[in-house]
Amino acid sequence: MTPHRSRPSRLLAAAVLLALLQAAPLFASEPAGPIHQLRIYGIFDETRQAFHDRFRDHAARIMARHGFHIVSMWESRGEDGKPRFVYLLQWRDEATMREGWAAFMADAEWARIKRETAREHGRFVDGIEEHVLQPTDYSPQASFSPK
């Protein structure tokens, strides 16, 4: 014999479930919505072109395979006059960002390309600066639709 719930207890259970679902964002450890990651690489004048070739021809392609969404890339000069490569990534959330980076760093093709280009050209990067950017509650956030 199957126990039957009374209509009031089913309504109460539904109300509790609805309240929990609505409160879930309050308990989230990370903000909902997209975040950005700003990365700044110090690069060397001597290997600058080889760095750009490797990033354009290999890194960007492999990053895309692991869910990276590159918003834009720039080159600048630091106060010391040395070249910098700057790029902005957009991620669904911090967990997705961590998973994407772990997958990229473990990628066998990327490891092989780094070894080969380092053997041919030497060091490309002289330090990395990284900033994870969380939107403020008043930020005019563009819509996010990852591929």
**pLDDT at 128 exceeding the cut of 60:** yes
Q: Where are the domains of the chain?
A: 35-133
pLDDT bucket at 137, cuts 50 / 70 / 90: confident
Span 35-133: which CATH code?
Answer: 3.30.70.100
Distance separating alpha carbons of residues 50 and 20, to the nearest angstrom: 53
**pLDDT at 146 exceeding the cut of 60:** no
Confidence (pTM): 0.73
- pLDDT tens figures, 12-40: 555 555 555 554 454 455 455 699 999 99
Q: How far is CA 80 from the centre of its chain?
A: 28
**pLDDT at 43 exceeding the cut of 50:** yes
Residue corresponding to tokens 């590159």: 70
Give percent of the chain with pLDDT exceeding 90: 68
Which whole number is the average pLDDT over 108-119? Answer: 98
